[in-house]
Amino acid sequence: MAAASTDRQENRSLAWCAERLLVPGNPLTLTRPYAAENLRDPLLALRAVIGEIARVPGEVSDGDVGRRKLGWWRQALTEHLPHPALQALTATGAARPRIVAELLGLVDAVETTLDAPRFETVDAFDAHARALAGPAARAEAGLVEDDELRQDVVESLVALTAGAYRVRMVRDLVLDARQQRWTVPLELQAEFQVTRQQVAAGEQPHRTRALMAWMAGQAVTTMVRAEASLAAQAAWRHRHAVLHATLDARLGRRIVRRPGRALEHRLDAVGPLAALTLWRRARALRRRADRAD
């Protein structure tokens, strides 16, 4: 009876995660089938928890409310409070100590965004992206490999995920500007001669397009270098993270080619031919790993 009850709870919690994430337009619908079969449910649960934590700043307009919400997540992660995503994480065996530790680190990183941080230099902006992307990247890497992770592999995956995060920040630049969120470093504002107020008001569109194309191009370059630094076998083992980032890199290239479209509407990482792009990339990863055997 106890086993049946546990199975029902796992099914309900995973169904909740699927209803939140496995929906049209979510990249996970395309990338999850490429993960090893035994990792698909744990990945779903992990991505659900990450998503719930990451969306807190966008759900609140008051920093104190956001801090209370994130405080609840700290308590929930350490005390196993009831939440469908956390229940799915536990039920699928993904609530390992080092993964929970990374999720707590994610809570800390997300909290730093509640007060609308500003950055003077590109390096500071890049460090911010790594701080936010790092915990999620390390958590997924720890899910894929039970043994001790090689530091060079971790660094490559963090750089890859941080680059993807930067692409999404560029994609949302106009929307964020209108909502008083502005992460463009001061040195880039000076170089491209554009301000948050101008971007929000739709002024100086040619300068905004140039800024977005440059930032997206830099992010994609970082991602290409990070993936190239992964050994063939490591890239195949962590193919879900690589393929997920492939969609963001594709989005970044679209912004570079036609930044004006990002001014008109919010672009999706999952667009026409995205499934074909993933299939080709997965095949290339597998062939490279086979040749390395």
Q: Is 7 exposed, middle or buried (0-12, 13-18, 19+ CB in 10 A)?
A: exposed
246-260 mean pLDDT: 95
Flag whether pLDDT at 7 surpasses 80. Answer: no
Flag whether pLDDT at 9 surpasses 90. Answer: no
- Computed over every residue of the chain, the mean pLDDT equals 92
Please report the pLDDT score of residue 6 as a whole number: 56
Question: Model confidence over 79-88: pLDDT tens digits?
Answer: 988 899 999 9
Interacting residues of 242 by C-beta distance below 8 A, sequence separation 6+: 160, 227, 230, 235, 281, 285
201-226 mean pLDDT: 96
Question: Model confidence over 111-133: pLDDT tens digits?
Answer: 999 988 899 999 999 999 999 99
pTM of the model: 0.92
CATH number attached to the domain at 116-293: 1.10.600.10
Residue 65: pLDDT band by 50, 70, 90 thresholds?
very high
Q: How far is CA 102 from the centre of its chain?
A: 14
Please report the pLDDT score of residue 180 as a whole number: 86
Question: Model confidence over 26-52: pLDDT tens digits?
Answer: 999 999 999 999 999 999 999 999 999
CA–CA separation, 271 vs 94, rounded Å? 30
How wide is the angle at C-alpha 110 spanned by C-alphas 104 and 116, nearest 5°? Answer: 160
Please report the pLDDT score of residue 263 as a whole number: 85
Q: What angle separates helix 84-91 from helix 2-21, to the nearest 10 degrees? A: 120
Residue by residue, what is the 3-state secondary structure of the chain? Answer: CHHHHHHHHHHHHHHHHHHHHCCCCCCHHHHHHHCCHHHHHHHHHHHHHHHHHHCHHHHCCCHHHHHHHHHHHHHHHHHCCCCHHHHHHHHCCCCCHHHHHHHHHHHHHHHCCCCCCCCCCHHHHHHHHHHHHHHHHHHHHHHHCCCCCCHHHHHHHHHHHHHHHHHHHHHCHHHHHHCCCCCCCHHHHHHHCCCHHHHHHCCCHHHHHHHHHHHHHHHHHHHHHHHHCCCHHHHHHCHHHHHHHHHHHHHHHHHHHCHHHHHHCCCCCCCCCHHHHHHHHHHHHHHHHHHHC
Domain boundaries, the chain: 1-96, 116-293
